[in-house]
Structure 1
Amino acid sequence: MSTQPPTEHRCAKCNRLLRNPSPDGLGPKCRRMIRRAGKAPEIVNGYKPHQVEKAVENLRQGGVALLRKSSKNRVYVVVGSDGTNAYRTARAACTCPAGLRAKHVCWHRIAAHIFDLAS
Structure 2
Amino acid sequence: MNAKTTKTAENVTRCLKCRRVLRNASPDGYGPKCRKKVRAAARAEVVAQYKPHQVAKAQELLEQGGLIPLRANRVFLAVSSDGSATYKTHRAACTCPAGIKGLHPCKHRIAAHILLAA
TM-score w.r.t. the length of structure 1 is 0.88
- Counterpart for residue 5 of structure 2: none
**Segments ≥4 residues shifted beyond 4 Å:** none
Equivalent residues in 2 for 1:1-119, closer than 5 Å: 5-43=9-47, 45-69=48-72, 74-118=74-118
Q: CA deviation at 1:83?
A: 1.6
Within 1, Cα distance between the matches of 2:82 and 2:55? Answer: 17
Which letter does structure 1 place at the counterpart of 2:44?
Answer: A
Q: What is the DSSP-based 3-state SS (H/G/I as helix, E as strand, rest coil) of the residue aligned with 2:11?
A: coil
Q: What is the DSSP-based 3-state SS (H/G/I as helix, E as strand, rest coil) of the residue aligned with 1:41?
A: coil
Structure 1 residue ranges without an equivalent (≥5): none
Within 2, Cα distance between the matches of 1:109 and 1:38? Answer: 13
Q: CA deviation at 1:84?
A: 1.5
Report if aligned partners of 2:17, 2:34 keep a CA contact under 8 Å in 1. yes
Identity of aligned residues (%): 56
Report if aligned partners of 2:46, 2:117 keep a CA contact under 8 Å in 1. no
Aligned length: 111
Q: CA deviation at 1:6?
A: 2.4
Kindly report the root-mean-square deviation, in angstroms, between the aligned alpha carbons of the 2 structures. 1.3
